[in-house]
Structure 1
Amino acid sequence: MAQMSLFGSSEAGPGPKPADDRTVRLQLLITVKAAPNPSEKYGETVCVAGLRTDVLRPTWVRLYPINFRHLDSDEAFKKYDIISVDAKPARQDQRRESWKPIMDRIQKERHLDGWRSRQPLLDPAVEDSMCRLNRDAQERADAQSLALVRPKEVRGLKVTPHPGWTADEQRKIEAYASQPDLFSGRSRSPLQAPRFKAAYHYRCHERGCNGHKQHVIDWELVALQRRLVGYSDAALQEALEAKFLGEMCAANREVAFYVGNQAKRVHVFSVLGVYWPKR
């Protein structure tokens, strides 16, 4: 059953960022771990997002940049962990949800295991209208940039070959990989592009919705391809469709998409992850 958004359309998302750059301690339920992107400075950076749980009115928070490959094991965290982290407002990013984490001040609190433990926090945040998010982003650069949207109809998942890194991305990878690791002295392994990319086609609950096509940048899409490295292209494509469409979007699942836009192209939203508890 579709639910009303936690946020009214006129006050969607968090309030403005603090005016100063003082460090703020945030407590978050981690819901999103996006696929890694090449970075000359950090090697591979990922965007992590979640729902803030230490405030009266829970709001979405984006943490960037995070280099997961070089996190110490004690600091590493996964989806649906509740963490505490010191962070500062991201000043080069106009999106209100964006914060820059202080990596050595991340503390895992606990893990929410199973959908029943997660739903009381996440179900109230579900929204019905992707169309509304698109309209707001086109009107204001600092409009709500993260959300959890329940589709009315998932029309399909299109899996296509990944084109590989662009020339600029490859330059960043080579520049980072050529530098020895300061701690081990070993060469850094370059970030490999996945074999396939994917995009969901769906309609939201807004009357007159013409449909949405959004690329999937979920870490799990890349991780599954790495686990199935020995599969043929045809078998791998079938496995991706089976997982992200057949299983996650099955009729017995109350599916919703974690969506987020781009800092440089705020009108472009992607699927950052899938929320798929049983009905």
Structure 2
Amino acid sequence: MTTESLFGDTIEYPTVKPVGPARHRILITVKAAPNPSVSHGETVCVAGVLLGDVGPRGWIRLYPINFRHLPAATEAFTKYDIVSVDCQPAGEARLESWKPNMATLQVEGHLPPWKRRQQLLESIIDDSMCSIRKLASADAKARSLALVRPKEILGFRLEPHPGWSSGEQAKIDAYVNQLELDVFEEAQDKTPLEAPRFKGFYKWRCADPTCTTHEQSIMDWEFVALQRHLWSRSDAEAHAAIRKRFFEEICAAENDVAFYVGNQAKRPQTFSILGV
């Protein structure tokens, strides 16, 4: 599926799995919270907008990335950096997913807030989360990343994080034990990944006339990073500070809010909020 962007480039929503390596130029828009991994200790999903000569061409997911163990030359890239990197198609159904060779990543520049970002992204904003979810439920190869403008943000809630599952904790323990035994990994950070204190959710309504509301979990790196910054605060103080930042400030009525959303490989009908 293709459409024309505001800038003249063709926006590509692939319908078949890419074959072979490619070097991609990307505006980084999403850095999700880290999750346990048996091979990497912890992995982060990074996503962004594929860039053509003058504008956006579609979406891309880079996975897996372990930020703690990146080469020094690449570890500093941030959201809204423009980067180029060599990639291989990932071995999964989602068509936007690529495995990056992080040693080849180069940061070309940074897109400042907010006018230039909005000009670039406006042409690829969707308004129907319902349609995106329906297509993904019917076909695991349907679009798995999007930027959706809510019609109405109805609420924000936090609940205690239950901690890592036994399976997730086993992945962390196995990786840390592997590092302890590897004499060539002396410089690696061996601190086990800690679970955040809270899980967060936005409740919202998209512009689809049949929408019965969405409540989606927040997977944003910054959501977890703020919790770590508030680690010494009481639950009540941390709760208030997180709500103030992620609901009262970011979702204030005067802001033009849109949600970066992405689904899960094993449950393509389940979308989370990867950034705001």
Tell whether the structures are fold-level matches, with TM greater than 0.5: yes
Q: What is the aligned counterpart of 1:199 among 201, 216, 220?
A: 201
**5 Å matches for 1:157-196?**
157-178=156-177, 179-180=179-180, 182-184=184-186, 188-196=190-198
- Report the counterpart of residue 120 of structure 1 in structure 2: 119
**Structure 2: distance between partners of 1:57 and 1:257:** 17
- Report the counterpart of residue 104 of structure 1 in structure 2: 103
Q: How big is the alpha-carbon RMSD for the aligned residues of Structure 1 and Structure 2?
A: 2.0
Return the letter of the residue paired with 1:261: N
- After superposition, the Cα gap between the structure-2 partners of 1:187 and 1:57, relative to the gap in structure 1 and judged at 3 Å, is closer
Q: Is the 8 A contact 2:68 2:189 kept in 1?
A: no
- Report the counterpart of residue 233 of structure 1 in structure 2: 235
- Report the counterpart of residue 24 of structure 1 in structure 2: 22
TM superposition shift of 1:103: 1.4
- After superposition, the Cα gap between the structure-2 partners of 1:139 and 1:214, relative to the gap in structure 1 and judged at 3 Å, is same
Return the letter of the residue paired with 2:142: A
TM superposition shift of 1:93: 1.1
Q: Is the 8 A contact 2:12 2:58 kept in 1?
A: no
Q: Is the 8 A contact 1:26 1:54 kept in 2?
A: no
- Report the counterpart of residue 42 of structure 2 in structure 1: 44
Number of residue equivalences: 265
**Structure 1: distance between partners of 2:113 and 2:25:** 20
Return the letter of the residue paired with 1:219: W
**Structure 1: distance between partners of 2:64 and 2:191:** 19
TM superposition shift of 1:171: 0.3
- Runs (5+) with no aligned partner, structure 2: none
**Structure 1: distance between partners of 2:189 and 2:233:** 28
> Alpha-carbon deviations, 1:205-252, whole Å to 9, x = none?
010210001000000110001111111111101111111110110011
TM-score by length of 1: 0.90
Q: What is the aligned counterpart of 1:219 among 218, 221, 224?
A: 221
What secondary structure is seen at the aligned counterpart in 1 of 2:84?
A: strand
Return the letter of the residue paired with 1:29: L
**Structure 2: distance between partners of 1:192 and 1:155:** 30
- Report the counterpart of residue 69 of structure 1 in structure 2: 68
> Alpha-carbon deviations, 1:106-159, whole Å to 9, x = none?
111101121112112111111100000011011111001000000011011111
Task: Return 255-264 or 116-125, whichever deviates more.
Answer: 116-125
Q: Is the 8 A contact 2:71 2:103 kept in 1?
A: no
> Alpha-carbon deviations, 1:57-84, whole Å to 9, x = none?
6100000000011113320211000000
Return the letter of the residue paired with 1:33: K
**Structure 1: distance between partners of 2:4 and 2:269:** 20
Q: Is the 8 A contact 1:14 1:60 kept in 2?
A: no
**Structure 1: distance between partners of 2:89 and 2:43:** 18
Q: Is the 8 A contact 1:52 1:60 kept in 2?
A: yes
- After superposition, the Cα gap between the structure-2 partners of 1:156 and 1:187, relative to the gap in structure 1 and judged at 3 Å, is closer
What secondary structure is seen at the aligned counterpart in 2 of 1:237?
A: helix
What secondary structure is seen at the aligned counterpart in 1 of 2:232?
A: coil
**Structure 2: distance between partners of 1:106 and 1:215:** 30
- Percent identity of the aligned residues? 51
- Report the counterpart of residue 271 of structure 1 in structure 2: 273
**Structure 2: distance between partners of 1:177 and 1:60:** 33
Return the letter of the residue paired with 1:268: T
**Structure 1: distance between partners of 2:189 and 2:80:** 33
What secondary structure is seen at the aligned counterpart in 2 of 1:46?
A: strand
TM superposition shift of 1:15: 4.2
- Runs (5+) with no aligned partner, structure 1: 275-279
What secondary structure is seen at the aligned counterpart in 2 of 1:169?
A: helix
Return the letter of the residue paired with 2:38: E
1:14 lines up with 2:14 in the alignment: yes
